Structures are given as structure tokens and as C-alpha cells.
Amino acid sequence: MTSNETNSASIRRAYERHLDLLLAEELCCNSAFARFLFKRALGADHIPYDDRPEVTVTISDADDLGADEGAAGETDVLAEANFSGQRLLVLIEDKLDAALQPNQISRYLRRAELHANKNEVTAAGALIIAPEAYLSSKTEELQGIERLAVDEIADWMTKHATSIEQADPNTAKRLHWRAKQLIQLREARSAPSPDHEPSMKARDFIIDRLREIAPHVEPRPKSMRTANQGWLYFASPDAIIFKVVHGYVDIYLRDIWPDDKAAQQQIHQDGPWPANFHPTSDTVGNYVLRCTVRPDAENSQTRPIQQINEIELSQGADACAAAASWIANQPNLA
């Protein structure tokens, strides 16, 4: 390994350790966040309501679990909670942009299985936390493990903070701050080379097209600045993401009805949906309506931005405009 590679690896690990600490601290001091994370990792059936679950966290846990070779390795964050007498464990792997190690996911799953088989443990599971783009790019490698996007944690923190600002302003302030930290961590590791001209050219083409057909739609101009950022996010409506390198436009129902899972599920199952959109889910199980702008989009890998032509970009912009019109006509928008 060269000195530059060594420095890059050290910087990467420093960012990931920051993420470890942020999650560990919030798990230990925020019961609502502990419930949110344990539900995502283990399922709601395992989480009885408990105002004050006892939570303990170990960072960089290296329990050899009987020296089982299939379980060998270090757990970034081992979270243990007692919910109304039920002892639950979640083994968390954090990634920002680092590659998966050989058999890393299967080893996490094996460690979770061994923990779950202990007499005093009610349930145990494994969870990978990473930027959504990272999770989307590694669907096959992540089979079997529960997934939670950094972006989704930041969204939860922001929304929960807003809901408790009057009752608990100090916690709300901390959660807003931590949500910003999460986004900064994601962006710091996903933007190693700013100003990638092909990405910015594609972004500007989409923005120009939207100005012509849907001037009320507001893309985030800082999206798609680098080679690693192949998605165009929107300031308004923020439920849309044009996943350019994947070849489809997604509407996230959670961002239209954030506090109404039943409404999300009903629309997802029964419609009505915008023209050319169909129901599906993303890699972490969110209800999504999707429009594919190339025929093989959902069955193929991401493509370099240089290989995406203006016809496809234009069709994607049209789908974004249709999505925005549909969202504007939905009831109960905040």
C-alpha cells in the first residue's frame, strides 16, 4: 500500500469512527432513537413499548464467540437493549465509502445468529448503516442483512426533533445538529473530487429541461457535482429523486406522508399512481413509486454518466415533472 493509500484509509476510518460514536451516543441517551433503530434491525414484533429501555453499547467489539471461523471479525457497534425484560442485540456495521471485506456480511449474520442462540438473549440481528447510494450499489452483496441509510437516520432525527421542540428543546437542538453531522459525513466521503464535468453537464441539462416544462420544480443545484454522485435530489418537492446512473425516477411516499404509514401503504398497493410509475421499494424497504427511463433499468448495474444520452435525461426530467404534479394533488400535504 502506498503512502497516499494509507492516508486515504486512515481518513476513511476516522470518518467511520465518527459515525460509530455519533450512533453510540444517541442510542445511549435517546430512547426514541433506540426504538427506531432496533425496530429497523429486528422488526416491530420484537420491540415492546418501553419508555426507558436500558441500552449499552460497545464500539469495536471483537468477541470471538467460541472462535467460530464463520463469525470471525470485529463488530463496529454492538448495541444491547432491555425492552420490558426482553434482551435484544443489534450488531451494526457502518460504511461511508469503504469496500466490503471478504465474507463480511455473512460473518456479521453468523455472529448475530450465535448471539441469538444464547439463553438470555430474546433476539439478535445485524444491520448495515451507509449512504443510500452505497446500499443501492451493493444489493447482491448485502443479501440477508437489514439495511438503513444514513440519509434516513438524518430524516428521522430532523422530524423527531421538530415534533419535540416545544416539550424538549434541548434534545431537539441536539438532534438537529446530529442530523446535519450525518449529512456532512455522507457528503465528505462521497465527494472526493469536486466538479466532475460530465456529471455537472448532465445535471444542468436536466435542470434546463425542467425550467421549460415545470419551472415550479426545484432541483438541488449542488447535486451531481462529483463522479460519485449520480442522483439528482430536489428541494421541492423533496419526495423525488432522479437516480440518473440507475435509469429511473423514484417518488418516496414517506416524504409525502411522513407520519402515516397506512397512507403510504394504501397508495403503494392501490394507487392512483402517476402515469408510467409503478410501485416498488428501495434497498431499505421504503415504499416507492418508480418510473424507469430505460427498459433494463431495474435489472442492470449503474452506468457511467458519460454513457447516458440526452434522450434518457429528457425522459427522466419529464418523469420528474409528472411526479411533481401528482404530488401537488395529493391530500394532507404538510
Residue spans per domain, the chain: 3-186, 197-328
pLDDT band of residue 14 (cuts 50, 70, 90) is low
Q: What does pLDDT average to over the chain?
A: 83
pTM for the whole structure: 0.55
pLDDT band of residue 333 (cuts 50, 70, 90) is very low
pLDDT for residue 44: 72
Strands of the sheet with 240-243, listed across from one edge: 218-219, 231-236, 240-243, 248-252, 287-292, 278-281
pLDDT for residue 189: 59
Give the β-pairing of 123-130 and 86-94: parallel
More confident site: 269 or 102: 269
**DSSP, residue by residue, 197-241:** HHHHHHHHHHHHHHHHH-TT-EE-TTTT-STT--EEEEEESTTEE
Integer Cα distance of 223 and 191 in angstroms? 10
Of 46-55, 60-69, 179-188, 230-239, the one with minimum mean pLDDT is: 60-69
More confident site: 32 or 224: 32
CA torsion through residues 284, 285, 290, 294, sign:
positive
With 50 as the cut, is the pLDDT of residue 18 above it?
yes
Cell triple for 133: 447510494
More confident site: 228 or 305: 305
Integer Cα distance of 319 and 328 in angstroms? 14
pLDDT digits (tens, 9 = 90+) for 140-196: 788 889 999 998 999 999 999 999 999 999 999 999 999 988 888 877 655 444 567
With 70 as the cut, is the pLDDT of residue 300 above it?
no
Integer Cα distance of 302 and 194 in angstroms? 20
Instruction: Please list the residues that pair with 89 across neighbouring strands.
Output: 80, 124
Strands (E) in the chain, as ranges, are: 54-61, 75-83, 86-94, 123-130, 146-149, 218-219, 231-236, 240-243, 248-252, 278-281, 287-292
Residue among 186, 112, 97 at smallest CA distance from 145: 112
Of 7-11, 70-74, 232-236, 301-305, the one with minimum mean pLDDT is: 7-11
With 70 as the cut, is the pLDDT of residue 65 above it?
no
Cell triple for 216: 415550479
With 50 as the cut, is the pLDDT of residue 7 above it?
no
At 155, which helix (H) or strand (E)?
Answer: helix 150-163
Integer Cα distance of 313 and 242 in angstroms? 9
Give the β-pairing of 231-236 and 218-219: antiparallel
Of 86-90, 92-96, 159-163, 296-300, the one with minimum mean pLDDT is: 296-300
